[in-house]
Amino acid sequence: MQNSKFLSALFAAGITFVLACLMIGVKLDTEGTELAVTGATAEQWTWIGLGIGLVFLSQLFSNQIDAFFGKLPKPKLGGLLPEEKKRAALKPWLLAALIVGMLVWPFMVSRGAVDLATLTLIYIMLGLGLNIVVGLAGLLDLGFVAFYAVGAYTYALLSMYFGLSFWMCLPISAGLAALFGFLLGFPVLRLRGDYLAIVTLGFGEIIRILLNNWTELTNGPSGISGIPKPTLFGLEFTRRAKEEGAQTFHDFMGISYSSSYKVIFLYLIAVLLVIFVIYLINRLMRMPIGRAWEALREDEIACRSLGLNRTTIKLSAFTLGASTAGFAGSFFAARQGFISPESFIFIESAIILAIVVLGGMGSQIGVILAAIVMTILPELAREFAEYRMLLFGLLMVVMMRWRPEGLVPMKRPHLELKS
């Protein structure tokens, strides 16, 4: 036993050596116009050696390490919550406290933190939208960013060409994104699994390329700048009113100007939008249509045998998810003040999907937690400078291994028979 353990550890160390020797150990360089290779420095070789040693030891003592980690209690988020009955009683209070907390919080922290929170809220909205499609209805969508782009560009273009305000554009963006979702969904929803995934991916790319190429309308790769920020009943959050006759917030309130009001105001709008979306989806999930989504995900054939129209069900999920992305998109445009097609690339779709999967598909709390994790992590990792994205990728792998069922797996209200 010990012997085979040793051999496998040796094997792992050998593999690590092979992985490292050519990629880290040798560097391609150009001398003049000739390509040449240079060996790594002694320091780098020491690091490689250390890495190999580490892998060897961790494999050799993997049993002990596993045993050690086995002893550590696995975090059970469910266990932290009180009993079912108590929870029901506590819930409204908790919710109220949470909402009040979210509203008061930005006044106490720094501007950067509020801004980051706003970004997180955008991802929460996106995650919740995709959650309907992937988590609830079980349709793999790799091009979700297309609807996000549609929402963002709707607001940007309408405000640029027609001077429409953010509040006017918000429903229009959602509506237009929903329309796109409907138009795409209609033909492709009879595809299964991965075929659907690739078609949505293609659709996402088509939208991005069209935005990039249609320079006359969208300004192409230069993007659209100077997108106005939302106003509070016509009050602007700028130092000086942009339009004639408009009033700024600080003039109206008779307080001195501070730019953090704008950041906080944006944050508060995001909070309201998120609460609205959560409420809406929560209601929908309890309506027949919500049940139908999940039924379809669990067993499509059974669903059809029971007389449910799968096209309607899938389309509704697709359309609703898209409209949420449209919402998030127009808010994103307002927060950025500048959008260009490069904000809507494929990796964005992948990250939103990762949020949904990491959260535990279908679970709203999970998606919210995962969105927080996925937006805050890269920011925290800023300390690691160029190692930032490396760690981000690694963490995605580690988190999936750590909790394959998601942070907070979805739970349905259900009864258990106790025998």
Partner 1 sequence: MTETLLYLIQQLINGLTIGSTYALIAIGYTMVYGIIGMINFAHGEIYMIGSYVTFIVIAGLLGMGMVSLPIILIIALVVAVFIASTYGWTVERVAYRPLRGSNRLIPLISAIGMSIFLQNYVVLAQGSRDVALPPQITGGWTFGDPAVFEVSFSYMQALIWGATFVTMTALTLFISRSRMGRACRACSEDLGMTNLLGIDTNRTIALTFIIGAALAAVAGLLLGLYYGVVNPFVGFIAGLKAFTAAVLGGIGSIPGAVLGGLVLGVTEALTSAYFPSEYKDVVSFGLLVLILLFRPSGLLGKPEVEKV
Partner 2 sequence: MKRFTKKLLTLSSAIALAGAVSAAQADTLKIGLAGPATGPVAQYGDMQKIGVMAAIKDINAAGGINGMKLEGVIYDDACDPKQAVAVANKIVNDGIQHVVGHLCSSSTEPASDIYEEEGVLMITAASTSPSITEKGYQLVFRTIGLDSLQGTLAASYIIDKAQPERIAIIHDKQQYGEGLATTVRNVLEGEGMQPVMFEGVTAGDKDFSALIAKLKKENVDFVYYGGYHPELGLILRQSREKGFDAQFMGPEGIVNSDLAKIAGEAAEGVLATAPKSFDQNPVNQARVEAIKANGEDPTGPFVFTAYAAVELMKSAIEKTGGTDPEAMADHIRANPLDTAIGKVSYDKKGDLTESTFQVYSLHKDGSKSPVK
Binding to partner 1 by residue 15, rule CB under 8 A? yes
Contacts of 191 (CB under 8 A, 6+ apart): 199
Binding to partner 1 by residue 350, rule CB under 8 A? yes
Which of partner 1, partner 2, none sits in contact with 343, Cβ below 5 to 8 A by type? partner 2
Binding to partner 1 by residue 393, rule CB under 8 A? yes
Beta strand 34-39 with 26-31 is antiparallel
Q: Return the number of the residue (3 or 33) whose C-beta is nearest partner 2.
A: 33
Integer-rounded Cα Rg, in Å, for the chain is 25
Between CA 259 and CA 279 the distance in angstroms is 31
What is the contact surface with partner 2 in residues (CB under 8 A)? 30, 32-33, 35, 109-113, 115-116, 119, 212-213, 215, 220-223, 225-226, 238-239, 258-260, 263, 332, 335-340, 342-343, 379, 382, 385-386, 388-389
Between CA 95 and CA 169 the distance in angstroms is 30
Options 192, 242, 286, 411; binder of partner 1; rule CB under 8 A: 192
Least separation in angstroms between residue 340's CB and partner 2 is 5
- The number of helix segments (H) and strand segments (E) in the chain equals 18, 6
DSSP H or E segment with residue 410: none
Nearest to 146 by CA among 188, 87, 84: 188
Q: Return the number of the residue (44 or 58) whose C-beta is nearest partner 2.
A: 44
Burial class from Cβ neighbours inside 10 Å (0-12, 13-18, 19+) for residue 140 reads: middle
Distance of CA 332 to the CA centre of its chain: 13
Binding to partner 1 by residue 386, rule CB under 8 A? yes
Which of partner 2, partner 1, none sits in contact with 202, Cβ below 5 to 8 A by type? partner 1
Q: Return the number of the residue (64 or 222) whose C-beta is nearest partner 2.
A: 222
Which of partner 1, partner 2, none sits in contact with 354, Cβ below 5 to 8 A by type? partner 1
Residue 415: both structure tokens together: 């009864």
Helix (H, G, I), strand (E, B) or coil at 210: helix
Q: Return the number of the residue (276 or 402) whose C-beta is nearest partner 1.
A: 402
Enumerate residues 133-172 that contact partner 1 by CB under 8 A: 134, 140
Contacts of 333 (CB under 8 A, 6+ apart): 151, 152, 153, 155, 156, 227, 339
Distance of CA 353 to the CA centre of its chain: 7
Contacts of 376 (CB under 8 A, 6+ apart): 116, 120
Binding segment (CB under 8 A) for partner 1, from list 68-76, 91-99, 190-198, 318-326: 190-198
Q: Return the number of the residue (56 or 327) whose C-beta is nearest partner 2.
A: 327
CB atoms within 10 A of CB 253: 10
Least separation in angstroms between residue 263's CB and partner 2 is 7
Binding segment (CB under 8 A) for partner 1, from list 69-77, 97-105, 210-218, 327-335: 210-218
Options 50, 81, 88, 389; binder of partner 1; rule CB under 8 A: 389
Q: Return the number of the residue (252 or 384) whose C-beta is nearest partner 1.
A: 384
**Dihedral sign of CA atoms 17, 19, 20, 22 in order:** positive
Options 10, 26, 253, 272; binder of partner 1; rule CB under 8 A: 26
What is the C-alpha end-to-end distance of the chain, expressed in Å?
43
**Dihedral sign of CA atoms 262, 264, 265, 267 in order:** positive
Binding segment (CB under 8 A) for partner 1, from list 69-77, 168-176, 183-191, 281-289: 183-191
Binding to partner 1 by residue 203, rule CB under 8 A? yes
Contacting residues toward partner 1, per CB under 8 A: 15, 18-19, 22-24, 26-28, 30, 33-37, 134, 140, 187-188, 190-192, 194-195, 197-199, 201-203, 205-206, 209-210, 212-213, 300-301, 346, 350, 353-354, 357-358, 361, 386-387, 389-390, 392-397, 400-401, 404-405
